[in-house]
Structure 1
Amino acid sequence: MKGGAGRCRNCRPDLIMKKIWIEGRWTDTPEHLEVKSPYDGSLIDTVSYADVTYVERAANSARRGAEQMRRLSAAHRSEILLNTARIMQRRFDEFALTLTKEVGKPLRESQNEVDRAIQTITIAAEEAKRIYGQTVPFDATAGAENKRGYYMRVPVGIVLAITPFNAPLNLAAHKVAPALAAGNAVILKPASATPLADTMLVEALLEAGLPPEGINLIIGSGSAVGDALVAHPAVNMVTFTGSPEVGEHIMHIAGLKKLTMELGSSSCVIAMDDADIDAVARKVRVAGYANAGQVCISVQRVIVHEKAYDKFIDKLVPMIGAMNIGDPLDESVDMGPMITETEARRVEQWIQEAVVAGARCMMPVKRSGALLSPTVLADVTPGMKVWDKEVFGPLVAVAPCRDMEHAVELANSTTYGLQAGVFTNRLDDVWQAIEGIDVGGIMINEAPSFRIDAMPYGGVKLSGIGREGPRYAVEEMTDMKLVCFDIGGGRKP
């Protein structure tokens, strides 16, 4: 199985197996899945693993759950989510430890993810009370003088949330919490490699008072269970985070459904010659290697003005070389493993290919299993995989530019457009970047990895469709319903 998970044959009896939540109860399945540490391959826990026969049961349960959720008041939905946030705060350390074990990110990064997930759910709770409609001026049209009306927003029904391995808790919160805030039922399908924190999230929601069939949790393969759920006629919306290839596949099989997709990036930083190069290097050091670079808005490309190019590399390389990599449970460790050895080998191969094509590797590349040393490549050019594609690993590729016009051209030279960061104090360069770079979000004097959970988040081109952030997700997860009154009573206007 992908993502460090494997079929369970000799499950440890000392572990309490996690079950799927379906039809309002925790349910075991004939097949189980081992969840293993990306760092050392040790068994963390086992989970019930569903096949396609459970899809219809989940869909029927969600139908009932959608009716229950639709009848809840906004105040009630808000209170459920606030209670969930309180429960998660109480179990904070347990959530963080679980994330570190199953994802492989350092404990402080896991703590940050738990904190952000709690904020995301709290913001969604507030948005449950802000689902507004608007009056429609029918009488502004000739012949409709006796009409009055408005529109309101109503839940779409059933939202299928498919979440990735890299930030499983907060990205699940970004899908599940707004869906529930809007009055929908949810079917949650986490990545098979990292289902444990999401299972705990469902536990917290249920303890908080969510109707038992307001959510279904189903763990299974994407090609079987995932495809069947996406194509199921009961599902009204799919919200997905993952690769463009899988996103395109979902679009082909989903049918007439609403879709929100966050599909990755090759996010860039532009640093002009007037920028504080020391500060830029520090930002890239953090933003390029968090979670071993397995972040959608991780800094992958750095475009530096040719006058500051050598200085930037001289500042960045020692910082990266000093990073401590290893066991993510060790508090002194700066970076843990990638999710699987297969993924680490892929990134290692891309680095080798780039060097053959003319890039300079600024430090030795070392790999032990899924643990790949952080790397800086200089003199990278468009056409190399490490520039054109999403690396999703601990690698930053650096290239020079002549001016902002050239930098914008390089920034736009990939098929992605999620977020970008621009470092300069010249206003004309700032506006040229804002107007010229094709991305969903642009950060001035900040790294593209900057995100607060309340903001609209999403991209253009192959980076996705729609926006996350609780307020904006609620809009995606509701439909307009128009109401029109004839107040004329048969009178002439």
Structure 2
Amino acid sequence: MSEDTVRAASADVVAAPALIAGTWTSEGPQRDRIGPYLRRVVSRAPEAGPEDVRAATAFAAANAAKVAALSPATRAEILDRAATVTVERRDELARLLALELGKPLKDGRGEVARVADTFAVCAAEARRIGGENLPVAGWPRGAGNTALTFRAPVGVALAITPFNAPANLLAHKLGASFAAGNTTIVKAPPQAPAISAAVVALLIDAGMPTTAVQLLHGGGDVGAALCAAEEVGVISFTGSASTGAAVARAAGAKRLVLELGGNAATIVCEDADVPRAASVCARTGYTNSGQSCISVQRVYVHRSLFGEFVEAFEREVRELKVGDPLDPTTDVGSMVDDEAAERVVSWAAKAAADGARVLLGGVRDGATAAPTIVVDPDPGALVVTQEIFGALVAVLPYDDFDEVVAACNAGRYGLQAGLFTRDIGRIISAWRDLQVGGLIVNGSSNHRLDHLPFGGVKDSGFGRESPRWMIDDYTYVKTMTLRGMSIWGEG
């Protein structure tokens, strides 16, 4: 498979082969992906069976040492070339995202641009991998000795990727794993087989050896079998909290990096710039139809600004263009499937039945959920307490800053939060007191730079999903002690 497969995105059905033991293959039972906007089959992939899992894990174990032997410079050069190739193929990759997921072209192009950045960051991190000269001679028992460390690759990594950002999160997991010197087995999301295959093919075209990567398609049974495989040393998973728990159970005593769910809150304080806050929340609350773990789901607005904010927010949301994801002017495309869109509709209706106002939306056309605004829902409503992962934003008033921080912390998730204020005291206290992995000041919760640590607390997972921090999880510290040989002297 090569760039020709990516360019086949204009065909009726895009082939998404697996890559097992160095060979691209389409053999086995086929699974069709029906595009949520086009309502027809857009891609087709072979489902992995137990023999494919065994072949992939055995091949990975047999070739781990070969991949580890590649110098960091070689790994970095491949990743840098991949960044360049990604930019060249931006439009073709964005089209695949639109076909398979209903993601608007403008969002898809943004994701692909981040893929290029991520590969470039992974290349830089490959060049930084080193170790330490430990201060062993600082204690009498260590005098006369030298101790050194370096970071050794774990060997075989498993990357389980989600549907909502399948290209960039694959770049994070696979790019960082290869930068660390591992061979990686990728389990693609069933909703995005073609874009996953295209990113893997792109890396191979850039020079990544087939000993360093394999790609399997399938559902939860394939993921569970791979997690349980004794050859796998580290697992990076992005997805729901419930599936993350299943991954942990299947994995047993393995290293895990879990980036799970979110129910992100953004606080708009009484000194905020209301027009800017409303514009940012409107733009980032419905990006990718809200299918992001840090998408703006709850906006808490100081009561003195509540009416002004709601009016400005509604005006901004009404300006969003909803429709064909292949239209470059579309802002909001379809959700991943009809069930996801129905969740938005039903949760909005339930909130309304309990006294909230559905100011906008609350309806769907197939898998396309209209951008929905729910105003002043009950604090116990599903749209407040649970992750909707969809095109809905709840707006609630608050009176006291400490109380709104407590409200943000009340749920089971803690991934990221936003805060609009000019008060440095509030900024510091929010950074200290909000139970989240990251705080965005004068921005919404939905902001991410791919070279910064990203991850959460509580049911939002553990570990940090960014190349530098992922490399720590993909490697282990190896120590060497030189007895009777000291760079510090003998005295």
Question: Which category of TM-score, normalised to the shorter sequence, fits these structures?
Answer: over 0.9
Q: Does 1:411 align with 2:385?
A: no
2:370 counterpart of 1:338: no
Shift of 1:492: 8.8
**Equivalent position of 2:7 in the other structure:** none
SS of the aligned residue for 1:397 comes to strand
**CA shift for structure 1 position 141:** 2.1
Q: Which moved more, 1:54-63 or 1:34-43?
A: 34-43
Aligned-residue offset at 1:322: 3.1
**Could you give the per-residue CA deviations for residues 429-467 of structure 1, whole angstroms, max 9, x where no partner exists?**
212211110110001111111111100111111111100
Equivalent pair of 1:65/1:215 in contact (CA under 8 Å):
no
Structure 2 equivalent of residue 436 of structure 1:
433
Secondary structure, aligned partner of 2:393: strand
The match for 2:311 is 314
Match of 1:7 in 2: none
Q: Distance in 1 between matches of 2:239 and 2:162?
A: 6
Structure 2 residue aligned with 1:121? 119
Number of the residue aligned with 2:344: 347
Deviations 1:225-259 (A, max 9, x none): 11000010000011000000000111112011110
Distance in 1 separating the partners of 2:403 and 2:424: 17
After superposition, residues 36-51 of structure 1 pair within 5 angstroms as 36-51=34-49
Which AA in structure 2 matches 1:256? Answer: A
* Coordinate RMSD, CA, aligned: 1.7
2:153 to 140, 151, 155: 155
Quote the Cα distance in structure 2 between the aligned partners of 1:374 and 1:356: 19
Residue correspondence of structure 1 range 231-380 to structure 2 within 5 A:
231-380=228-377
Match of 1:10 in 2: none
Whether the 8 Å CA contact 1:271–1:304 is kept in 2: the answer is yes
Cα deviation for residue 331 of structure 1 reads: 2.3
Give the 5 Å matches for 1:106-185.
106-185=104-183
Residues 13-52 of structure 1 correspond to what in structure 2 (within 5 A)?
15=13, 17-52=15-50
Instruction: Name the SS of the counterpart of 2:257 in structure 1.
Output: strand
Equivalent residue for 1:81? 79
2: CA distance between counterparts of 1:268 and 1:131? 36
Letter in 2 for 1:20: A
Provide the residue aligned with 1:473 in structure 2: 470
Alignment partner of 1:391 is 2:388: yes
Pairwise CA distance, 1:207? 1.4
CA contact (8 A) 2:13 2:41 kept: no
Map 1:179-258; keep pairs closer than 5 Å: 179-222=177-220, 224-258=221-255
C-alpha separation between the residues in 2 aligned to 1:425 and 1:347? Answer: 34
16-25 vs 238-247, greater mean Cα deviation: 16-25
In structure 2, what is the Cα distance between the partners aligned to 1:263 and 1:470? Answer: 18
Seen in structure 2, the aligned counterparts of structure 1 residues 291 and 492 have a Cα distance that, compared at 3 Å, is closer
Query: Aligned in 2, Cα 1:451/1:14: closer, same or farther, shift over 3 Å?
Result: closer
Task: Report the alpha carbon displacement of residue 278 of structure 1 after superposing the two structures with TM.
Answer: 0.6
Distance 2:316 2:116 in 1: 32
How much has 1:42 moved relative to structure 2?
1.7
SS at the partner of 2:196?
helix
DSSP 3-state at the match of 1:62: helix
Distance 1:456 1:492 in 2: 42
Deviations along 1:34-58, whole A, 9 cap, x unmatched? 1221112122121222122210100
Task: Give how far 1:16 is off.
Answer: 5.6
Secondary structure, aligned partner of 2:75: helix
2-side partners of 1:251 and 1:191: how far apart?
A: 18
- Indicate conservation of the 8 Å contact 1:192/1:219, yes or no: yes
Aligned 8 A contact 1:133 1:152 in 2: yes
Note the alpha carbon deviations across 1:322-348, whole angstroms, 9 max, x for none: 322111112232201110001111221
> In 1, are the aligned partners of 2:85 and 2:206 still within 8 Å (CA)?
yes
Structure 1, unmatched stretches of 5+, are: 1-12
**Residue pair 2:418, 2:441 contacting (<8 A) in 1 also:** yes
Structure 1 distance, partners of 2:301, 2:145, is 60
Q: Which amino acid aligns with 1:487?
A: G
Q: 3-state SS of the aligned residue for 1:227? A: helix
Give the secondary-structure state (helix, strand or coil) at the position aligned to 1:449. coil
| Displacement of 1:67 | 1.5
Judge conservation of contact 1:405–1:432 (CA < 8 Å) in 2.
no
TM-score, with structure 2 as normaliser: 0.95
Query: How many residues end up aligned between the 2 structures?
Result: 480
Counterpart residue number, 2:51: 53
Contact residue 43 and residue 193 of structure 2 kept, 8 A: no
Indicate conservation of the 8 Å contact 1:65/1:211, yes or no. Answer: no
Q: Which runs of 4+ in 1 moved over 4 A?
A: 13-16
User: Could you tell me which amino acid in structure 2 is paired with residue 410 of structure 1?
Assistant: A
In 1, Cα distance between equivalents of 2:78 and 2:441: 37
State whether residues 64 and 156 of structure 2, in contact with CA within 8 Å, keep that contact through their aligned partners in structure 1.
Answer: yes
Alpha-carbon displacement from aligned partner over 1:277-316 (angstroms, at most 9, x marks no partner):
1100000011100010001110000011111111111111
Q: Closer, same or farther in 2 for the Cα pair 1:182/1:488, shift >3 Å? A: closer
TM-score by length of 1: 0.95
Q: Percent identity?
A: 37
